[in-house]
Chain A
Amino acid sequence: MQQWGFPVDISTTGYRVDRLFWLALWLTGIAFALVVGALTYFLICYRARSDRRAYYTHGDSHGAISLTGGLALLVFLLIDVNLAYHDHAAWQAVWGAPPSAKEALRVEIMPEQFAWNIRYAGPDGVFRTADDVTTINQLHVPINRPVIVQLSSKDVIHSFFLPNLRIKMDAVPGMVTSLYFQAKTSGTYDIACAEHCGFGHYRMRGFLVVESREAFTTWMVGQSKARPPDSSWGWNWGGAA
Chain B
Amino acid sequence: MEQSQPRSFWRRDVFSTHHKVIAIQYLLTGVMFLAVGGVMALLIRWQLAAPWQPVPIIGKLLFREAGGAITPEAYPMLFTMHGSIMVFFAVTPILLGALGNYTIPLEVGARDMAFPRLNMVSYWFLFLGSASMLASFFVPGGAAGFGWTIYAPLSASTEMLPGWGQDLFILGLALDAVSILMGGINYITTIMQLRAPGLTLRRLPLTLWGLFYSAVLNTLWLPIVASALFMVLCDRRLGTAFFLAGPLAPHAGGQVLLYQHLFWGFGHPEVYILIFPVWGLVGDLLSVFSRKPAFGYKATVLSMLTITILSGIVWGHHMFTSGMNPLVGKAFMFLTITVSVPTAIFFLNWLGTLWRSAIRLTVPMLFTLGVVFVFAIGGLTGLFNALQTFDVYIHDTYFVVGHFHYTLAASVLFGTFAFIYFWFPKIFGRQMSSRLGKLHFWLSFVFLNAVFSVMMFVGLHGHMRRIADATAYEFLKPVQHWNVFIGWAALGLGLSQLLFFFNFLYSLFRGTPAPANPWEAGSLAWTVPSPPPEHNYDAVPRIWCGPHEYGVPGLNNGDWLSQTDPRAKALAKS
Chain A residues near B (Cβ < 8 Å):
5-8, 16-17, 20-21, 24, 28, 31-32, 35-36, 38-39, 42-43, 46-49, 52-60, 64-65, 67-69, 71-73, 75-76, 79-80, 83-84, 87-88, 90-91, 94-96, 113, 152-157, 159, 161, 163-164, 166-170, 172-175, 177, 189-190, 192-203, 205, 232
Contacts and interface: CB of A to CB of B under 8 A. Distances in A.
Contacts of A49: 358
B103 interface: no
Given A32-B376, A76-B338, A91 B388 contact: yes
B389 interface: yes
Interface in B505-556: 548, 550-553
Interface stretch (B24-32, B180-188, B231-239, B292-300): B292-300
B464 interface: yes
Given A5-B457, A194-B464, A87 B389 contact: yes
Contacts of A54: 290-292, 356-358, 550-551, 559
A64 B296 contact: yes
A165 to B, nearest CB: 9
Interface stretch (B35-43, B320-328, B424-432, B436-444): B320-328
B295 A168 contact: no
B140 interface: no
A234 B95 CA distance: 52
A17 B349 CA distance: 34
A173 B160 CA distance: 14
Name which of B160, B360, B389, B553 has the most chain A CB atoms within 10 A of its CB.
Answer: B389
A203 to B, nearest CB: 5
Given A35-B372, A73-B341, A195-B396, 6 more contacts: A39-B351, A53-B358, A71-B348, A163-B462, A166-B393, A205-B473
B72 interface: yes
A38 to B, nearest CB: 5
Interface stretch (B7-15, B116-124, B128-136, B243-251): B243-251
A200 B253 CA distance: 27
Contacts of B357: 42, 46, 54-55
Contacts of A87: 333, 387-390
B269 interface: no
Nearest to B462: A163
A7 B462 contact: yes
A28 B467 contact: no
A149 to B, nearest CB: 13
Contacts of B244: 173
In this complex, which of A69, A168, A189, A202 has the most chain B Cβ atoms within 10 angstroms of its Cβ? Answer: A202
Contacts of A163: 393, 461-462, 475
Contacts of A195: 151, 396
Choose among A8, A35, A57, A154 the residue with the greatest number of B CB atoms under 10 Å from its CB: A35
Contact of B359 (A46, A154, A161): A46
A90 B330 CA distance: 12
B239 to A, nearest CB: 18
Contact of A173 (B245, B290, B369, B460): B245
B475 A20 contact: no
B145 interface: yes
Interface stretch (B166-174, B377-385, B445-453, B493-501): B377-385
Given A87-B388, A189-B475, A157 B151 contact: yes
A15 to B, nearest CB: 12
Contacts of A170: 321-323
Given A72-B348, A172-B323, A199-B73, A56 B153 contact: no
Interface residues of B, number: 100
Contacts of A172: 246, 256-257, 322-323
A168 B393 contact: yes
Given A31-B380, A80-B341, A173-B247, A196 B330 contact: no
B75 interface: yes
A156 B153 contact: yes
Contact of A201 (B355, B359, B467): B467
B256 A68 contact: no
6 contacts: A5-B457, A95-B389, A155-B246, A156-B154, A174-B246, A189-B475
A157 B376 contact: no
Given A60-B297, A205-B472, A75 B341 contact: yes
B147 interface: yes
B468 A202 contact: yes
Contacts of A5: 457, 460-461
A190 B351 contact: no
Contact of B389 (A32, A71, A91): A91
B340 interface: yes
B345 A72 contact: yes
A6 B461 contact: yes
A169 B321 contact: yes
A155 B247 contact: yes
B397 interface: yes
A24 B393 CA distance: 14
B138 interface: no
B389 A198 contact: no
A200 B147 CA distance: 14
Contacts of A177: 323
A189 B397 CA distance: 18
B519 to A, nearest CB: 13
B230 interface: no
A76 B551 contact: no
B75 A199 contact: yes
Given A21-B384, A35-B347, A198 B154 contact: yes
B291 A53 contact: yes
Contact of B247 (A168, A197, A232): A232
Contacts of A16: 389
Contacts of B220: none
B357 to A, nearest CB: 4
B505 to A, nearest CB: 31
B322 A24 contact: no
Contacts of A42: 351, 354-355, 357, 359
A56 B287 CA distance: 11
B348 A17 contact: no
A202 B153 contact: no
A30 B147 CA distance: 35
Interface in B312-367: 321-323, 326, 330, 333-334, 337-338, 340-342, 344-345, 347-349, 351-361
B298 A202 contact: no
Contacts of B345: 68-69, 72
Nearest to A163: B462
A174 B245 contact: yes
Given A20-B390, A53-B559, A177-B323, A65 B154 contact: no
B554 to A, nearest CB: 9
Interface in B124-169: 145-147, 151, 153-154, 157, 160-161
